[in-house]
Amino acid sequence: MTNETLYLQQIMESHKRPASVLAITSGKGGVGKTNITANLGICLAASGKKVLLVDADFSLGNLDIVMNVNNRYNVSHMIYDGKSVEEIIHSGPEGIEMICGASGLEELADLNEFQRRRLLKELSKLQNDNDVILIDTAAGISKSVVGFCLSANNVLVVTTPEATAMTDAYAMIKVLVGNRFTGHISLIVNMAHSIPEGKKTYQKIANVAGRFLNTHVYNAGILLKDERLSCSVRLRKPVVLAHPKSQITSSLAALAAKLSNSESSGSDDEGFFKKVVNWFF
């Protein structure tokens, strides 16, 4: 490579937008966050984007299992064994890169200040090397989950039509609005038995958020309950790869396209992980 090319590359690098960060969260557990993160990531990567998945569940992370990715190193190796972020990145299908969550690591809020700073400093190196970062959060509205969501450019809240999941999704939206989240909040209804049931679920939450929180909740779409998805988890092959011609793959691809098109509301100057740091200090 000539000096001129190298110099041009450096100039182009300095103009590159940092990755747009989407946090995928829910309120209630077991509603499909991890599977949605994995399959969305694969669809976005298939469309040519450089995608990083971060499993931000530091106690029961299992994105590696759904993605069938080697989990030799995870965030705990960065915190306790001094590994750099580059050393704990794993490669997944379609050129995706992934950071595995720890199993049994105390929640981010419980780490000491030094450990938190180091973790977030290492993670902040990654925003310039990717187009999209998808954060799979843990369930609930703990300080660490909310911190990750508030620091993202946009948040995708996952619910099912069950009343408990809807109540918890609304609670998450309320916390985001209460903390003056400025990005888009979108809702995806997963495991619906029919499209009308999914639409009704979205409408109910969007109406209440509009009325009581004065907030627009974007409609990210509906995913039907589909045996193929649960089977693909058992096979450890994300459903969009195991069943590329199925209805659920079309819905996931449509969701990825929708998110991809609204990415312009993405990155700002401050950067994702820096905002996480601010939330904790």
- Binds ligand ATP by CB under 6 A, chosen from 34, 76, 249, 267: 34
Q: Give the binding range for ligand ATP (CB under 6 A) out of 117-125, 168-176, 181-189, 224-232.
A: 224-232
> Max CA-CA distance within the chain?
62
Interface with Mg ion, residue 37, by CB under 5 A? no
Interface with ligand ATP, residue 249, by CB under 6 A? no
Q: Give the binding range for Mg ion (CB under 5 A) out of 32-40, 43-51, 163-171, 201-209.
A: 32-40
Site for ligand ATP in 57-96 (CB under 6 A): 57
Q: Give the binding range for ligand ATP (CB under 6 A) out of 30-38, 82-90, 97-105, 112-120.
A: 30-38
Of 281, 202, 256, which Cα lies nearest the Cα of 20? 256
List the structure tokens of 121: 């400093």
Interface with ligand ATP, residue 243, by CB under 6 A? no
Kindly state the smallest distance separating residue 223's Cβ from ligand ATP, in Å. 5
Kindly state the smallest distance separating residue 175's Cβ from ligand ATP, in Å. 16
- Binds ligand ATP by CB under 6 A, chosen from 19, 27, 33, 170: 33
- Binds Mg ion by CB under 5 A, chosen from 34, 130, 190, 249: 34
Interface with Mg ion, residue 190, by CB under 5 A? no
- Binds ligand ATP by CB under 6 A, chosen from 112, 128, 230, 250: 230
Q: Give the binding range for ligand ATP (CB under 6 A) out of 10-18, 23-31, 197-205, 272-280.
A: 23-31
Cβ(26)–Cβ(172) below 8 Å: yes
Site for ligand ATP in 118-157 (CB under 6 A): 139
Q: How many residues bind Mg ion (CB under 5 A)?
A: 2
Amino acid at the residue 209 = A
Give the binding site for ligand ATP (CB under 6 A): 26, 29-35, 57, 139, 190-191, 223, 225-226, 229-230, 233
Binding site for Mg ion (CB under 5 A): 33-34
